[in-house]
């Protein structure tokens, strides 16, 4: 089965921008990987449009396939998730203004602000809202778990997570003595929810 056009375009743009590279790379976790994904390279308008279009079309397709999938806010964890959430909610409004024109986005500050409006959430309040996390990559799931904790603390309800790149890595097992890989990072995030 062929990939939808928006996914094909996104993958082509990842390679042409150098955001998806193949070779030998040492990750933050010190693991060696045959590929590297850097969404920070989507800083040009055409590339930001490509990645936000991929997110928007994916969210729209999921909502059309499952009528129970309802959300109010796209939450972009600091820092790379911030422009992704903002651009994606804008792209959704382009796709269907009547359906998505009143949707919002929010993001967190790394440090809480103690003046002005204060707090560490910028954008729409999460309290009582249905939230979808928008982020670039999931490797170990650490950033996603932190975002889930923020959403819970702020009184929001997590209803979905969308990432551009899932490394499909396995986490280490608790004992690591049986030689078997642990659960996937996504599996660990599901437990956290």
Give catalytic status of residue 57 as yes or no.
no
Determine which one of 12, 43, 99, 113 is catalytic. Answer: 113
For every residue of the chain, which 3-state class applies, written as one string? CCCCHHHHHHHHHHHHHCCEEEEEEECCCCCEEEEEECHHHCCCHHHHHHHHHHHHHHHHHHHHHCCCCCCCEEEECCCCHHHHHHHHHHHHHHHCHHHHCCCEEEEEEEEEECCCCCEEEEECCCCCCEEEEEEEEECCCHHHHHHHHHHHHCCCEEEEEEEEEECCCECCCCCCCCCCCCCEHHHHHHHHC
Determine which one of 28, 115, 180, 191 is catalytic. Answer: 115
Give catalytic status of residue 62 as yes or no.
no
Q: Which residues are catalytic?
A: 113, 115
């Amino acid at each position: 089965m062929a990939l939808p056009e928006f996914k094909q375009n996104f993958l082509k743009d990842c390679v042409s921008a150098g955001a998806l590279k193949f070779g030998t790379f040492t990750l933050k976790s010190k693991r060696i990987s045959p590929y590297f994904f850097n969404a920070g390279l989507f800083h040009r308008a055409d590339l930001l449009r490509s990645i936000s279009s991929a997110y928007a079309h994916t969210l729209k397709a999921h909502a059309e396939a499952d009528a129970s999938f309802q959300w109010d806010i796209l939450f972009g964890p600091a820092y790379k998730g911030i422009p992704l959430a903002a651009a994606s909610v804008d792209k959704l409004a382009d796709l269907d203004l009547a359906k998505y024109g009143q949707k919002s986005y929010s993001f967190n500050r790394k440090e809480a602000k103690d003046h002005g409006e204060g707090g560490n959430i910028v954008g729409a309040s999460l309290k009582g809202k249905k939230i979808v996390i928008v982020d670039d990559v999931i490797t170990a799931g650490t950033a996603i778990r932190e975002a889930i904790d923020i959403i819970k603390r702020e009184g929001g309800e997590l209803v979905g997570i969308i990432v551009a790149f899932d490394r499909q890595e396995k986490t280490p097992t608790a004992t690591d003595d049986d030689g078997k890989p642990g659960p996937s990072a996504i599996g660990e995030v599901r437990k956290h929810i």
